[in-house]
Amino acid sequence: MAAGELGRSMRISLRAGTFEAPGAGDFALPPFFGPVTKPMVLVVLSVVIIAGFFLLATRRPRLVPGRLQFAAEWVYDLARERIARDQIGSADFRPFVPLILALFTFVLVNDIFGLIPLVQFPTMGRIGFPVALAVFVVFPLCQVVGIRRHGLRGYLKNQLFPAGVPKAVYPLLTPIEAFLRFFMDPLTLAIRVFAAMFAGHLLLLAFTLGGEFLLLHGNGLGKAVSVVAFAFAVLTTFLEALVQVVQAYIFAALSAIYIGRALAAH
């Protein structure tokens, strides 16, 4: 959540003397200028940060890497070996390493924005951004590589008519497979990271604002409970950091799985 929005919520609570629970409206930030909003600026900033990080890390590569080069190599190795190779297969993974690396780092940086002071907004908490990645990047790519590998007829056969299934089952199974492959896969890919960022940030906001309200407006017991609320806010922050990394990994891994499945013979 933006620092300004957080302050606004606090001021409302102070004036009214009643606690207003945070909700989805706290994610609808006003534009900076024209149609440009804070999430849009953060998306562009994330690209600059990622590009700058890898450019600096690889500017003077050494046989014995320094800390920055080691960090860049570790991230690259994770995307290449643990995600792309494992999920797509050793025969086909190489052309897709840049995409998997870009997806992982892009989602990770935009998630981490939610914990950075003065920024405090996870860009992936706005559904439009993960939907754009899933529907306009990953999903079309899977169809293209699958059709190029198998041809249109062969690709549709692989996706909609699983091998080893009795033909009598296809009238029931094929519509389900079509629904899962061409609708649910991109939708669930986007919703996973969105839901985690939205819910986690909302929970963190509830503990923070709730603790502030109890501290300033509560009685003796309320002030004591505010300490518990702030403690949960700190614990939630660490949990949110873990979830952010895991969700970035899951998004990249699922993307690789979908690509590998489109390329597979069966």
Locate the domains of the chain by residue range.
Answer: 3-263
Span 91-117, average pLDDT = 95
**Average pLDDT of every residue of the chain:** 87
Q: Which residue has the higher pLDDT, 56 or 208?
A: 56
CA angle 220, 202, 107 (to 5 degrees): 145
Instruction: Say whether pLDDT at 118 is over 80.
Output: yes
Please name which of 196, 195, 203, 197 lies closest in space to residue 22, comparing C-alpha atoms: 203
Q: How far apart are CA 31 and CA 125, in angstroms?
A: 17
Q: What CA dihedral angle connects 99, 256, 88 and 63, to 10 degrees? A: 50
Burial 27-60 (b: 16+ CB within 10 A, else e): bebeeeeeeebbbbebbeebeebbeebbeebeee
The reported pTM is 0.86
Which of the four pLDDT bands, split at 50, 70 and 90, describes residue 213?
confident
